[in-house]
């Protein structure tokens, strides 16, 4: 295990924030693209076939790859306890990107929610003072408590999603499973990255890489189904964004020997910073689903568009479109598949 130096943090922090920006943009683009295809059941493998070839989804894939590469760089230089909490900022980037794609104008409430997320995160990191930079997993029995907990959470989320009718409960189950798998993937990727530094063939000698090859794609599939099942991006992404760093921090502490300030006063400050982050996430989640779209005939930049002859078509579409279910409090879809 190596300690995180000032120079390593100088690389890790910007890489983590830029990676979060890439993942936020990817989430917004993919969520928008999944709404353009037919909605399927949870764990629908044919969803990829329907999405391939859609430019917006491909942009999301490119942003995902870029975000993952930057996250790997951050994990190679910084501890999980530092890098994973910084992923909370992806919700802020996703919220603003989604607002632009949906032609919704971020307002003061949404901006204040984003500011709270950043402020709470900064306070948490300053107080926690994460130390250590573990890149080797513990072996044997110490793996079991956290491993069993993560497995139970994932199966519980999948069970809820599979047994629930389309609506907020199904999306919540998918989001929980996605967040757990994303956090697990990040922790294992840090180990794989350290193994690559030993030798190009070193990762293939360990089980970690093979677990990543299964868990990573499964988490990505779940995320696409989560985005498609939800009416709005931000509420579902808020659950994923909250669980991802929590799982990463737990892996750092339990499996990789990292540490944080554990004094009573520090724990109070960390809890307070976490509470500020939760409030910010809640504000972003609820407000993003209620932002007004740009008026008809006007683009997001204020330019007038040609609406001649569109009145009859719009009226016809409104008459034929099925009535939407009211917002259930999560801002998630309640319509049947």
User: Is there a contact between 84 and 248 (Cβ–Cβ < 8 Å)?
Assistant: yes
Q: Round to whole Å and give the CA distance between 219 and 236.
A: 14
Beta-bridge partners for 131: 259
Nearest to 62 by CA among 109, 30, 110: 30
- Tens place of pLDDT per residue across the chain (337 aa): 444 556 677 888 899 899 999 998 998 888 888 888 877 666 667 777 888 878 888 999 999 999 989 988 888 888 887 888 888 788 778 877 877 777 766 667 767 877 787 788 778 877 877 776 667 788 888 889 999 999 999 999 999 888 877 777 788 888 889 999 999 998 898 888 888 878 888 889 888 999 999 999 899 888 888 887 766 566 677 778 778 888 888 888 888 877 778 788 888 888 888 888 778 777 766 665 555 544 444 444 444 444 444 444 444 444 443 444 433 333 333 333 3
Q: What is the pLDDT of residue 232?
A: 58
DSSP 3-state assignment of 104? strand
User: Is there a contact between 294 and 105 (Cβ–Cβ < 8 Å)?
Assistant: yes
Q: Round to whole Å and give the CA distance between 222 and 237.
A: 12
Q: What is the pLDDT of residue 124?
A: 80
Nearest to 196 by CA among 184, 207, 204: 204
Q: Give how far the C-alpha of residue 195 lies from the chain's centroid of Cα atoms, to the nearest Å.
A: 26
Alpha helices in the chain (DSSP H): 6-34, 47-51, 55-77, 80-86, 89-101, 108-128, 144-163, 168-198, 207-229, 233-255, 264-288, 310-320
DSSP 3-state assignment of 259? strand
Q: Round to whole Å and give the CA distance between 156 and 204.
A: 31
User: Is there a contact between 293 and 102 (Cβ–Cβ < 8 Å)?
Assistant: yes
Structure tokens at 151: 């497995």
CA angle, 282 as apex, 159 and 80 as ends, to 5°?
Answer: 70
Q: Round to whole Å and give the CA distance between 28 and 206.
A: 35
């Amino acid at each position: 295990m190596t300690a995180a130096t000032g120079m390593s943090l100088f690389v890790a922090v910007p890489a983590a924030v830029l990676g979060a920006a890439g993942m936020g943009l990817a989430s917004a683009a993919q969520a928008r693209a999944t709404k353009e295809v037919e909605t399927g059941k949870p764990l629908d493998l044919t969803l990829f076939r329907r999405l391939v070839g859609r430019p917006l989804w491909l942009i999301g894939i490119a942003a995902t790859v870029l975000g993952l590469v930057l996250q790997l760089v951050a994990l190679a230089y910084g501890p999980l306890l530092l890098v994973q909490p910084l992923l909370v900022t992806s919700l802020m980037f996703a919220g603003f990107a989604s607002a632009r794609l949906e032609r919704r104008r971020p307002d003061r409430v949404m901006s204040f929610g984003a500011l709270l997320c950043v402020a709470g995160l900064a306070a948490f990191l300053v107080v926690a003072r994460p130390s250590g930079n573990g890149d080797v997993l513990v072996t044997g029995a110490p793996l079991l408590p956290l491993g069993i907990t993560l497995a139970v959470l994932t199966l519980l989320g999948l069970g809820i999603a599979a047994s629930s009718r389309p609506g907020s409960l199904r999306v919540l189950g998918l989001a929980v499973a996605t967040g757990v798998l994303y956090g697990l993937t990040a922790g294992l990727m840090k180990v794989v990255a350290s193994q690559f530094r030993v030798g190009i063939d070193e990762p293939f000698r360990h089980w970690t890489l093979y677990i990543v090859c299964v868990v990573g794609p499964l988490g990505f599939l779940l995320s696409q189904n989560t985005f498609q099942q939800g009416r709005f991006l931000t509420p579902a992404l808020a659950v994923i964004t909250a669980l991802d760093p929590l799982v990463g921090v737990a892996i750092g502490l339990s499996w990789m020997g990292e540490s944080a300030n554990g004094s009573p006063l520090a724990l109070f400050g960390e809890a307070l910073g976490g509470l500020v982050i939760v409030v910010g996430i809640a504000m972003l989640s609820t407000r993003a689903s209620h932002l007004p779209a740009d008026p008809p005939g006007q683009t997001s930049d204020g330019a007038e568009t040609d609406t001649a002859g569109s009145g009859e078509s719009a009226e016809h579409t409104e008459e034929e479109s099925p009535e939407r279910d009211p917002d259930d409090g999560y801002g998630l879809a309640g319509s049947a598949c």
